[in-house]
A and B are shown apart, each in its own frame.
Chain A
Amino acid sequence: MSQIFHRSANTIARVSIFGAVFFVAGLLGLLAEVNRSPWMTDARTAREQPIQFSHERHVAGNGIDCRYCHTSVEDSSFAGIPPTKTCMNCHSEIFSNSPFLEPVRDSFRTGTSIQWTRVHDLPDFVYFNHSIHVNKGVGCTTCHGQVDRMPLMYQQNSLQMEWCLDCHRNPEKYVRPRSAVFSVDYQAPEDQEALGQKLVAEYQIQKLTSCSTCHR
């Protein structure tokens, strides 16, 4: 019989077997990364909105408190999206004829709602309650990021379960004094750990990782 394969076949064979291992490993790693990437989570991508509303302008610029618009954040699961009325409180006076605000005026005139595109959207089987988090000293910016520097609103964090669990497992890393919950320029102190410990004790913050805490 004569040779079926060329010399190089030996090297090729071994390399391919050896390489396969790394290839598969790499592939899995990539998958994991993709799952966490903004492409999956939509994090850090601004949504198309009917009105070019700028949180930066309203929060940083005019220093409006979160609760002025998101009224129910302290006592409901839902923080609340301001009704057109709220916009008109000011914009009937200010920029009352700016073309950008036409949709708002139109909505107010015709009584049809403005249709915003949802930015923070949890799956339907997840039950998040704003009021309890706010009451336990979880600041707005902790989850929503520096809203005051977002000309167009985007989702700061992945909102994936591992991200939720991070805080539910060790809240002391994130909690702040109730007084500071709504301040957008709150900076975590050097001794966050110590402060955290203290607040966790003071606010009786529990580390809730039971399934039914969020899933029902």
Chain B
Amino acid sequence: MKRPPLVHGLLAEFDDPTSLVEATERAHHEGYRCMDAYSPYPIEELHHALGSPKSRLPLIVLIGGILGLLGGLWLEYWVSAITYPLNIGGKPFASWPAFIPVAFECTILGAALSCVFGMLALNGLPMPYHPVFNVPRFALASRNRFFLCIESSDPRFDIDRTRHFLETLNPREVSTVAD
């Protein structure tokens, strides 16, 4: 039997960043936690308004960098001093000054890769499919509109009360996000 479409959440559309931020703060004050705010450009305040934790990305990058460094150094040393030591122009097998540039580049590479993929991972990207895309007007999220989405997974979520609550934030419009 065909079950009725589940609801992912409710999506309120706003005209300007200020009202979105206020709305978000209100919602958070109301006790809503499982929600997300969408804007066409980064807005510092939103992050605080949502009360989400600081990013763990810097740590990941640090680790990536260190691994790159050690990997690079080890490779150079192992190659030139252990596996096939050759007398190159009378230089010592482990001529560390000559090893610095490559080690450095490896560090950067390790850090950069972990940075980008870390970011994607933390953002759960790639995620070509997402319920919010079901709302036609959401296309404007990447142009000039601001959205607040309270998700059904929130314990306090109730389709009617939440919609009523959102209406009070005088949005342009509130739409249901099918899941």
**Same complex origin of A and B:** yes
The answer for the CA separation of A60 and B84 in the assembled complex, in Å, is 40
Question: Are B133 and A2 interface neighbours, CB within 8 A?
Answer: yes
Within 8 A of A (CB), among B116-162: 126-129, 133-139
Question: Are B138 and A13 interface neighbours, CB within 8 A?
Answer: no
Residues on B with C-beta less than 8 A from A9 are: 128-129
Residues on A with C-beta less than 8 A from B134 are: 2-3
A-B contacts, CB under 8 A, total: 33
Residues on A with C-beta less than 8 A from B135 are: 1
- A-contact bits for B82-95, CB 8 A (1 contact / 0 none): 00101000000000
Instruction: Give the A interface residue count (CB, 8 A).
Output: 16
Which listed residue (A2, A5, A14) contacts B136, Cβ 8 A?
Answer: A2
Instruction: Give the B interface residue count (CB, 8 A).
Output: 13
Q: Which residue of B lies closest to A17 (CB)?
A: B126
A187 at interface, CB cutoff 8 A: no
Residues on B with C-beta less than 8 A from A4 are: 128, 133
Most B C-beta atoms less than 10 A away, residue of A6, A14, A165: A14
How close is B121's CB to chain A, nearest CB, in angstroms?
A: 9
Which listed residue (B127, B137, B138) contacts A10, Cβ 8 A?
Answer: B127
Question: Are A10 and B128 interface neighbours, CB within 8 A?
Answer: yes
How close is A18's CB to chain B, nearest CB, in angstroms?
A: 10
Residues on B with C-beta less than 8 A from A1 are: 133, 135-139
- A-side residues, CB < 8 A to B, are 1-10, 13-14, 17, 165, 209, 211
What are 14 A-B pairs at a CB distance below 8 A? A1-B135, A1-B136, A1-B137, A2-B134, A4-B128, A4-B133, A6-B129, A7-B129, A9-B129, A13-B127, A13-B128, A14-B126, A17-B126, A165-B84
